[in-house]
Structure 1
Amino acid sequence: DAQLRRLGAEVWWPSDAGYLDALAARRRTTRFETAYTVLLALRTLARLPRLTPLPAAPPPAARAASPGASRALGRIRGLLAKAEATDYAEEAEALSAKAQELMARHSIDEALLAGADATAGGGPGAIRIGIEGPYEQAKALLLDAVATANRCQAVWSSDAAFSTLVGYEPDLETTELLYTSLLLQATTAMHRAADAHHTRGRARRTRDFRQTFLVAYADRVRTRLTAATEAATAEAATAGDAGVG
């Protein structure tokens, strides 16, 4: 909830019944214009393909999460919370990289457990994550960086304002978790840097500065997360070889 509030994702309309009136007042448009905009959005949603077909029968029960997995996710969330709370960019990036390393280990452990469980079925799945403006291109790049480091594929649909993530369930879960945290960290760092940029008398180009800042942030995140994943994978491979030997 704290993350959502800091990102400005709050319920600002008084009630669902009064949503259109509240939206019209917020956008300073007429009710007709607002209703037309909403209908266009609904038409866009209707044209979107389903991520998966509707099942003919209820799916088999999923394998219960292991205590180790719960502990790992708890540690990951703790590291990300510390990264969001610190005022030092380098410390935040180091904590996020450590969280990514734990995520990679968690994913490897889950894959090994699934491989050992003959009843564990299911292939890759997909989810959609909203990518809203401003700076949606930079945000899509950030999500792609996180997805790639966690063995997922992100496909950005700019016209529909979301990205589709394809991957295995543990990887999808950790990708969404890390992206949400990094987006919050990036937004905080961007505003801090933009304020400093503004005080130097460059207010006219603040928007360009913020866009460039977020793109550079996404590129730096890609490098650090990829390195963390490679380190965790190499460590797991070494441990596996030692176990065989």
Structure 2
Amino acid sequence: MTKDRPVILVTNDDGVQAKGINELIGCLRDLGDVVVFAPDGPRSGMSAAITSTQPLRYRLVKEESGLTIYSCTGTPVDCVKLAVNEVLGRLPDLLVSGINHGGNMAIAVNYSGTMGAAMEGCVFDIPSLGVSLLNHTADADFSEACRLGRMVARRILKEGLPRGTYLNLNVPDIPQVKGLKVCRQAEGRWEREFMRTASPGGEPAFWLTGDFVNRIPTHPDNDTLALDSGYASLVPCKIDVTDYAYLNTLKENYELKITN
């Protein structure tokens, strides 16, 4: 790392060898010194999981001018914690998590290891961004996700983000998006979430699957609708999950009145 260039911490939940993170590295290198600290294998669906019952380990994978790559035995959040606390020696100027193989829109933001890492960066007051492409295949075309991810990353380096806010960028799997829309997170849930099969011994076994269904009424500016229309979606997220609209009502109904 050099003193006159921003430090960009890069991680993911698909593993350090995934195409998505390596495409991301390539498109961010001209913006600063890139330090990659990513899991040694797939960790999808880890959300904000941390490792607390066994030690973590990491190893240096590659080091050259402007780029250092580490592989870690932990979760995406473990990677951020270990990089910030033990490896970097300073807070990075930006954290980018991704590019995820598969979308992280709507309720998926709560399950995603990609977004868990972005949230953890935000906990450390690092301007943080998660980037996802709506394609699960190993050899997907990340061109548009790289272009848009770099554009947003460059803007964050210049302007920063509000404290406690991180960004969730999703890109549809098309050759060229119609544009970028700033959206709200869609309300809804997954239905028919499991496909029932059987183990070799005949015991029931279940594969996670399902269909996302928007809650009615559907807000016209939600992220799923933007993506379905050929736009990339950018959603500002908060680490503070307090429901301030309900806070005072809850106080009135639940707080004990202490009287003399």
Higher CA-based Rg: 1
Higher relative contact order (CA 8 A, sep 6+): 1
Please identify which structure carries the higher helix content.
Answer: 1
Please identify which structure carries the higher strand content.
Answer: 2
TM-score strictly above 0.5: no
TM superposition score category, shorter chain reference: under 0.3
Using structure 1 for the length normalisation, give the TM-score: 0.25
Using structure 2 for the length normalisation, give the TM-score: 0.24
